[in-house]
Chain A
Amino acid sequence: MTLLEIKNLSKIYHGKNGAKVQALSDVSLDIAAGEVVGVVGESGCGKSTLGRSLLRLIEPSGGQVLFEGQDIVPLKKSALKPMRRDLQIIFQDPFGSLNPRHKVGKVIGEPLEVHGIGTKQQRQEKVRELLDLVGLPQNAIDRHPHEFSGGQRQRIAIARALALDPKLIVADEAVSALDVSIQSQIINLIAKLQKQLNISILFISHDLSVIRHVSDRIAIMYLGRIVEMGETEEVMQNPQHPYTQSLLSAIPRVGEKRARTVLAGEVPDPANPPSGCAFHTRCPKVMDVCKQTRPELKAQTQGAVACHLFPQ
């Protein structure tokens, strides 16, 4: 059952002197109930803009976000508030996303307060349950965020995101700032809670090995568009789009030697995107048509790919 359906979502930022940056172009994606969809790409690919515009933390410039069939893009703030109970987010930086003046009990319990749920005592009870759920000690309730390490702070952020029993969580680089030995603890926690509570997750990361580990399906983004999408293992073992192939080969892996294909150049400026396929300036398999015409994301025998090498 489809929980969330993103249709042709786009976001244009307006800069100085009429400059326009198309951060998100025509992105369509759906997430089933209880499904984890990974979104991966390099800086400027629009993955964070996607996560935030579907929650309307950033106002989309066009397109639809259907949550349980209802489009939330045109909703007024007041009508949006009850929807926010079901849609939560965890950010990358557990240092920047927790109010340093509030005690952890207040940080975790605030969503309940904002939505007027339960009595003060019931909220306290819920906070205690949440602390248990994310593996924090009960005495955390009266301590401040700065008394906790990065990994524990991310646990606090997860507890807060779970406070309202959401149906979907956007995890935006939720484990990227953590040390290797802590990262796996938090990945395990998110995976465990996702199964236990049957939550859908849009898992955004630049780290393909993390995405691979947690996601049922993945979408690869480049310069504001999805270039490939499919079942995680299919894409990882048999990447179709030349960009996906380059991205996979660029990841340094333990036990492998160098001398893979190294992609030349860098991600182009989104304010001045290349014509045709945005990847053509770096693509090892570039053809004339790629410079002229932008390929559409089309279903293929495996997943969907936006590339002229495949039937359009």
Chain B
Amino acid sequence: MYTFTWDGEPPTVADVCERYGLSPDEIDAEFGVIAIDPQDNLYTILVNRDAVQRLDQTWETAADDDITGPFSNPPISPFGPPEP
């Protein structure tokens, strides 16, 4: 997952792809663009694992400081019943 800020109307997947140079198969369209903190205009997207390295390099050279990530996406499980 990556997070970024976006002023104005909530962005679409296409908006995000255009701004950050993502191809449609690199972003999870079903996940979409999720507002995680509307107060700060903060959004998150889910990016294809294979694309992370390329995007990191791209964004690093572009000095895009309003996008942050990647954030871990660990598996989660129920806490019960406990197993020996």
User: Do A and B make up one complex?
Assistant: no
**Chain B residues packing against A (C-beta within 8 Å):** none
